[in-house]
Amino acid sequence: MAKRKEEFKLTKPLHHVAFIMDGNGRWAKARGLARHYGHHEACKRIIEIFEVCRKYDIHVMSWYAFSTENWNRPQEEIDHLMDYLEEFFEQQIDYLDSVGTKLIVSGDLSRIRPQTREVCYKAIERTKNNTNWYINICLNYGSRDELARACRMIAEEVKEGKLEINDITPETISSHLYTAGLPDIDLMIRTSGEQRLSNYLLFQNAYSEFVFTPVKWPDFKEKAFVDCLKEFQGRARRFGGLKNE
C-alpha cells in the first residue's frame, strides 16, 4: 500500500503573510475568457488560502485587492473588481466573523464607489473586536501614498506640539501606517511569475522573505501555497546578524 505523505509542519515563526494575487487576466485569457472571469475565480482562492493560513496558525494576512495604479485599467474591469469585492464580503462576512477575524482595509477609500465603501465600513465595524485572525485588504492602496499620508500626520503632530522632531523613530512611522499594530511581514508571495513589489507595503516588507511563484493566482491552491511555505521554511533569516533563526 502506498505510504501516506507526511503533512508539512511549519516550524519557523510566521506571523504575517502578504499576497500579491497576480495573473488573473492571463489565467482568463489562456481559457479564452474575458479578464473579469479571472478576478471572479480569484476571490474563491482567498477564502481557501485563508483556511490554509488557519491550519498553519498564520494569524495575519495582507491581500492586494486594488492598487493606486489600477485606476489605469478600463472602467468596466474596475467595476467588475468592485462587484466581486462586494460579493466576497457579503458571502464571507458571517463566516469570517464567526471564527473571530478582524477585517482591516488599507488604502484611501474616499475614491472607491460608495456601495463598495459601505460594505467595507460595515465589515470593519462588525469585526472590530475580533482578535483570532487578521485580514488586511489593500484597496486603492499604494505604499508611496501611505508613506506620504504618514508624513502628513506626523508633521501635524509636530506642528501642534504633540511630538518632538527628534522623537520621530521608525516606530513612529510604523504607527502611522494603515497597518499600525500589525506585526511586520515575514513572507511576501507574488504569483504569476512577476518579480516586483508594485508599490505594495514597502515599509512593512523591509525584512520579509520574498517568494515568487509562476502559478497564476486563480490556480493558487493549498499545494502551491504549501510549496511557498516550504521555501520560506528553508530560508535563513539573519536580520543583519550571523545566527540563523
- The residue nearest ligand IPE at its CB is 25
Output DSSP code: residue 234: T
Beginning with the edge strand found earlier in the chain, give each strand of the sheet holding 101-106 in spatial order: 101-106, 133-141, 60-67, 16-20, 187-190, 209-212
Q: How far is the CB of 232 from ligand IPE (least distance, A)?
A: 20
- Tell me if 218 contacts ligand IPE by CB under 6 A: no
Q: Active site residue: 24, 57, 70, 72, which one? A: 70
Binding test (CB under 6 A) with ligand IPE, winner from 14, 36, 60, 66: 66
Q: How far is the CB of 38 from ligand IPE (least distance, A)?
A: 6
HSE-CB of 217 using CA atoms within 13 angstroms: 27
- Choose the contact partner of 111 out of ligand IPE, Mg ion, none; CB within 5 to 8 A by kind: none
Residues 6+ apart with CB under 8 A from 160: none
Cα torsion 51, 54, 56, 59: sign: positive
Q: Which residue has the cell 489593500?
A: 138
Q: How far is the CB of 66 from ligand IPE (least distance, A)?
A: 5
Output DSSP code: residue 36: H
- Choose the contact partner of 81 out of Mg ion, ligand IPE, none; CB within 5 to 8 A by kind: ligand IPE
- Tell me if 213 contacts ligand IPE by CB under 6 A: no
Q: How far is the CB of 8 from ligand IPE (least distance, A)?
A: 26
- Choose the contact partner of 67 out of Mg ion, ligand IPE, none; CB within 5 to 8 A by kind: ligand IPE
**Contact pattern for Mg ion over residues 22 through 51, marking x by CB under 5 A:** x-----------------------------
Q: Which residue has the cell 527628534?
A: 166
Q: Cell numbers of 214, please? A: 509562476
Active site residue 219: no
Per-residue DSSP letters for 188-210?
Answer: EEE-TT----TT--TTTTTTPEE
- Choose the contact partner of 119 out of Mg ion, ligand IPE, none; CB within 5 to 8 A by kind: none
- Tell me if 87 contacts ligand IPE by CB under 6 A: no
The amino acid that residue 12 corresponds to is K
Q: Which residue has the cell 511586520?
A: 184
Nearer to ligand IPE, 50 or 154 (CB): 50
Residues 6+ apart with CB under 8 A from 141: 64, 65, 66, 67, 68, 106, 107, 108, 178, 200
The amino acid that residue 154 corresponds to is I
- Tell me if 82 contacts ligand IPE by CB under 6 A: no
* Interface residue list for ligand IPE (CB under 6 A): 20-26, 64-67, 70, 81, 192, 194, 196, 198
* Interface residue list for Mg ion (CB under 5 A): 22
